[in-house]
């Protein structure tokens, strides 16, 4: 939230409206009414000035907005002005250049190190188009989205506001919901892939989520982006105080470093109750979960090869810890 709020700018004549699509306050209001209390709806985040505030689901809001734009006479008349056609041509060219830049960013030689650009590119080309991504990448979410370029509704599920660590449990709920939808389609088996930053992963009792996945055999693929710490506070502070001491402060100095980093791949297997630590062997092919650590493009590409087979078809869990450039 601090990132977004610090970036808020606008012209003096801009009209700002607040559309709250959260269901939490709605659920609380319904509960209050059901037990005889006063029905009160509260906007959870409303500290900024606005010309109007509404509670509505996103589909309804966007549909109404599009319908209004298409049907309002003053708008449709204004859009006939040649300047808008010229503006459209310019924007199309800008978009084309932007897409070309995004495509050029990944470096995909086997020996190349991993960053969010080649991680996203490899995921896009390695997993099925039917994959549903549950994203808790925070500071890397924008770049990840640019590389994946998802266009199927529901294939990209991200947190609409604050809530670091939400995706550990959400990925299990998403998979169970999809399993219900697919019950009448035995030939269809979708892959749910959580892409999560190390801080987000650690903020929501990962061992509990991983153990629940194993106990109830909820097969998901988890990609942990290990960049050695919690980067969001540094970014937020930089936006608010662009010229102060934080500018050159290290992760250790602002207490957001994850060094030494946990072994997330081993945590996956240990939390699931596998035989890790009991047998002096690297062969864990028989366990329900599998954890891998990768640090180069070739390693990540190789690790992703069995993902569709293991998770989507065999119904087993898998976690890949990706060491991304700091």
Contacts of 10 (CB under 8 A, 6+ apart): 16
| Mean of pLDDT over the chain | 83
Contacts of 321 (CB under 8 A, 6+ apart): 224, 226, 263, 264, 265, 291, 292, 293, 294
Q: What is the pLDDT of residues 99-148, one digit of tens each?
A: 999 999 999 999 999 999 999 999 999 998 899 999 998 888 899 999 99
In terms of Cβ atoms closer than 10 Å to its own Cβ (0-12, 13-18, 19+), residue 201 is buried
If asked whether residues 63 and 121 sit together in one domain, one would say: no
- The CA distance from 64 to 145, in Å, is 26
- The CA distance from 124 to 108, in Å, is 13
If asked whether residues 23 and 146 sit together in one domain, one would say: no
- Is 88 part of any domain? no
pLDDT confidence of residue 297: 96
Q: Percent of the chain beyond pLDDT 70?
A: 81
Task: Find the range with the poorest average confidence among 20-34, 214-228, 285-299, 303-317.
Answer: 20-34
pLDDT confidence of residue 2: 43
If asked whether residues 168 and 212 sit together in one domain, one would say: yes
Angle CA 242–245–248, to nearest 5 = 85
Indicate whether 46 pLDDT > 80: no
If asked whether residues 217 and 140 sit together in one domain, one would say: yes
- The most confident of the ranges 159-163, 222-226, 255-259 is 222-226
- Is 204 part of any domain? yes
Q: What is the DSSP letter of 308?
A: I
Cα 196 to chain centroid distance, Å, stands at 7
- Is 275 part of any domain? yes
- Tell me how many helices (H) and strands (E) the chain has: 14, 8
If asked whether residues 113 and 71 sit together in one domain, one would say: no
Contacts of 202 (CB under 8 A, 6+ apart): 165, 258, 262
If asked whether residues 218 and 295 sit together in one domain, one would say: yes
pLDDT confidence of residue 114: 95
Q: How many domains does the chain have?
A: 2
Q: Percent of the chain beyond pLDDT 90?
A: 42
Contacts of 325 (CB under 8 A, 6+ apart): 113, 114, 115, 227
If asked whether residues 32 and 126 sit together in one domain, one would say: no
Under 8 Å between Cβ of 326 and 228: yes
In terms of Cβ atoms closer than 10 Å to its own Cβ (0-12, 13-18, 19+), residue 163 is middle
Which residue range is the domain that position 138 belongs to? 107-323
If asked whether residues 143 and 283 sit together in one domain, one would say: yes
Q: Which tokens in the block code for residue 44?
A: 């959870």
- The CA distance from 54 to 178, in Å, is 30
- Is 123 part of any domain? yes
Using the 3D structure, point to which of 25, 58, 78 is the last residue of a domain.
78
pLDDT confidence of residue 160: 66
- Is 240 part of any domain? yes
pLDDT confidence of residue 249: 80
If asked whether residues 140 and 261 sit together in one domain, one would say: yes
Q: Which tokens in the block code for residue 121?
A: 């590119």
Q: What is the pLDDT of residues 155-214, one digit of tens each?
A: 999 886 667 888 999 999 999 999 888 877 765 668 999 999 988 898 888 989 999 999
Output phi, psi for 241, to 5 deg: -125, 75
Angle CA 157–153–60, to nearest 5 = 95
- Is 91 part of any domain? no
Under 8 Å between Cβ of 27 and 8: no
More confident residue, 15 or 271: 271
Per-residue pLDDT band for 304 (boundaries 50, 70, 90) equals: very high
- Is 94 part of any domain? no
More confident residue, 243 or 35: 243
Q: What is the pLDDT of residues 69-111, one digit of tens each?
A: 999 999 999 989 999 999 999 999 999 999 999 999 999 999 9
Sign of CA dihedral 220, 226, 229, 233: negative
Q: Which tokens in the block code for residue 78?
A: 């204004």
Residue 279 sits in a domain whose CATH number is: 3.40.50.970
pLDDT confidence of residue 246: 74
């Amino acid at each position: 939230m601090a990132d977004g709020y610090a970036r808020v700018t606008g012209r003096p004549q801009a009209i700002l409206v607040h559309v709250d699509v959260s269901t939490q306050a709605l659920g609380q209001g319904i509960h209050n009414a059901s037990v005889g209390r006063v029905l009160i709806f509260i906007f959870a985040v409303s500290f900024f000035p606005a010309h109007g505030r509404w509670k509505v689901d996103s589909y309804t809001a966007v549909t109404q907005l599009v319908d209004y734009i298409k049907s309002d006479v003053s708008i449709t008349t204004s859009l006939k002005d040649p300047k808008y056609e010229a503006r459209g041509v310019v924007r199309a060219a800008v978009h084309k250049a932007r897409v070309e830049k995004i495509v050029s960013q990944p470096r995909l030689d086997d020996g190349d190190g991993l960053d969010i650009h080649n991680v996203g590119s490899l995921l896009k080309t390695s997993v099925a188009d039917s994959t549903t991504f549950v994203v808790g990448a925070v500071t890397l979410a924008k770049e990840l989205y640019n590389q994946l370029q998802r266009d199927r509704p529901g294939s990209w599920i991200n947190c609409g506001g604050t809530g670091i660590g939400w995706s550990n449990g959400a990925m299990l709920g998403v998979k169970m919901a999809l399993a219900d939808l697919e019950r009448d389609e035995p030939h269809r088996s979708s892959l749910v892939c959580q892409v999560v930053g190390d801080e987000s992963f650690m903020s929501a009792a990962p061992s509990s989520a991983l153990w629940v996945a194993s106990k109830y055999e909820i097969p998901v693929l988890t990609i942990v982006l290990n960049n050695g710490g919690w980067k969001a506070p540094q970014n937020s502070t930089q936006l608010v105080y662009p010229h102060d001491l934080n500018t050159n402060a290290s992760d250790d100095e602002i207490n957001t470093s994850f060094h030494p980093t946990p072994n997330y791949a081993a945590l996956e297997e240990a939390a699931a109750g596998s035989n890790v630590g009991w047998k002096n062997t690297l062969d864990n092919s028989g366990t329900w979960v599998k954890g891998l650590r990768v640090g180069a493009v070739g390693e990540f590409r190789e690790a992703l090869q069995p993902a569709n087979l293991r998770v989507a078809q065999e119904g087993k869990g898998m976690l890949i810890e990706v060491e991304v450039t700091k």
